[in-house]
Amino acid sequence: MKRNNKSACPFKASAFMLLLQKALTILPLMIIACSTISPPKSSQCLFLASPQKRDSGVASFQFPAGVYKPDFESETGTYYVAPAKVINESLGLSIPMRGGIYIPHSHNPDQAQAGWVDNQESAGGLAGFVVTAPTRLWPFTPPISFEYIKEKRETIPDGYSTVQPHEPVAPK
């Protein structure tokens, strides 16, 4: 009786090809999702004097009062991170999440403000990263009233730095 001496298992090859196919499908999506984000060009902050709540279709957002620092920006606007967790209310759940307010650049034809949340911490793998990217916006109305401020750093004796809101400035 003759034996077939094939060393490759057909199951392993097909599993590898399936994995490779999925990776090649997801990788371009990740590149597209990540390629438009850059560090903020400005250190201008937003100051909300009081907490604000805004509805955005299915979800609503509770934005805490305080200084919102620029976290990152895209070609269309700047993403400001809240001083504390934003409460994202959706489908009867209230979930505190890292997030903040999106303010469009002046050249953007769509001047709608929006909420954003960074739920990548709970995302499942590479596919979850693409689906839950923080650049997903939840436009709301009416716009939030805020003040642009400059960030002023003060050094305290132990070497740490604190950021305090000072010097209102005109929007760019």
Domain assignment present for residue 17? The answer is: no
Q: Is the pTM of this model over 0.75?
A: no
Domain assignment present for residue 1? The answer is: no
Residue 1 has pLDDT above 60, yes or no: no
Is 163 in contact with 153 (CB distance < 8 Å)? yes
- pLDDT, average across residues 128-137: 60
Number of domains in the chain: 1
Residue 32 has pLDDT above 50, yes or no: no
Domain assignment present for residue 25? The answer is: no
Cα distance between residue 111 and residue 103, in whole Å: 8
35-44, 123-132, 135-144: which is most confident: 135-144
Adjacent-strand bridge partners of 49: none
Supply the pLDDT for residue 172: 53
Domain assignment present for residue 12? The answer is: no
Domain assignment present for residue 23? The answer is: no
Give residue 140's domain range: 45-125+132-168
